[in-house]
Amino acid sequence: MLKHNQICLGLALGILVTLSACQSVKPFVSTEQWRPVKTKLLGISGIVSIALHAEQPEFLIVHDSKGRKVYTAKITLKERGLEYDALDWHRKDPNEPNDTGFTKEPFDLEALTRVPGDESFMALASKGIVYHIRIAPHETVKKVEIIQVLNEFKLPNPDDEKNLEGFSLQAFGGDTLAVWAYRGNNKKPGRIYWGLLQPTKDDVIFQDSAPLVAPWPIGCRQSVDGKCSVRHVSDLRVDPGGLLYVSSAAESNDDGPFDSAVYIAGKFERTGNQFALQLRSPLTELFRCKDRKVEAIEILGGHPLRLILGSDDENQGGSVLRTERDCG
């Protein structure tokens, strides 16, 4: 059985090999291990690459903090471990003399995505509020960076869901597709939503949605007092070809045990400025992560396919794993 730091993803003539077919493929163990973040009790709920090709790759992450005062950080992968730098939040231009400085603090950030063609990002809170942000130098302290909040808006929420997770922006020609999700639970499917980002207005025009049920995990390995929380979607990404990647997760409580999986769920097809999602049946399972609650995925591209995962392991804190696989 694959351990949580193993991947089984085969690429042959562009066809993905599912996990069940990987038993006959030469086993692969990631050369990297999960790297814990410096601050305990701060899981990772979103991640994007900043300097991917640097000797020491940098990533921006968000925490689903609820009153812990740390919401965003930059992490730098070292030869061993990582460097963690928390970033304070400011509104608008911190160099303006009339700027009051700190913005109203975000609550329960669950996803992070880069704005295509721009050096800025968008972070999603669970109640549907999107923060348009960028990394900026501190106004008075040298060599210190902050998060500058450029704007905030609310995503369309036709079903009035309260637990939104996953947010991805991807450019297709002159249009920017926005995709987000309701996470679902033990009794209710997740749901993928999509629409068009209006970049000049920081707004999204809703187009459609589709239900999604992750085939695994379908429950918890150990249930405490009968409690088990399943999230059919814990994060998502859309790649330049329109493929939709999703992670799913389950937990008994804040001490675990945790289980996660990553899938290719389908593909977005474009007709004019309208998008339609063709879901796969079954979903293509890429790999499973036992004892980790994956809530953040980023596609790093390349061949072999490279990804970085972020976990929110509650009382055990958060970790990242950079990994790649070519089963050829």
Rounded CA separation 263/288 (Å)? 9
Q: Does residue 2 form part of some domain?
A: no
Residue type, 298: E
Per-residue pLDDT, averaged over 307-312, amounts to: 90
What backbone phi and psi angles, to 5 degrees, belong to 22?
A: -85, -5
Does residue 123 carry a pLDDT above 90?
Answer: yes
Q: Does residue 251 form part of some domain?
A: yes
Q: Does residue 46 form part of some domain?
A: yes
Torsion of CA 86, 92, 96, 101, to 10 degrees: -50
Residue type, 108: D
Q: Does residue 4 form part of some domain?
A: no
Per-residue pLDDT, averaged over 229-245, amounts to: 95
pLDDT of residue 219: 82
We report the CATH number of the domain holding residue 267 as 2.115.10
Q: What's the pLDDT band for 39 if we cut at 50, 70, 90?
A: low
pTM across the whole model: 0.85
pLDDT of residue 196: 97
Q: Does residue 5 form part of some domain?
A: no
Domain that holds residue 127: 10-325
Q: Does residue 1 form part of some domain?
A: no
Does residue 86 carry a pLDDT above 50?
Answer: yes
- Residue tagged 């329960």 (tokens): 108
Higher pLDDT, 208 or 2: 208
Rounded CA separation 310/269 (Å)? 28
Q: Does residue 223 form part of some domain?
A: yes
How many Cα atoms occupy the beta-carbon half-sphere of 217 within 13 Å?
28
Per-residue pLDDT, averaged over 297-303, amounts to: 82
Q: Does residue 189 form part of some domain?
A: yes
Structural domain tally of the chain? Answer: 1
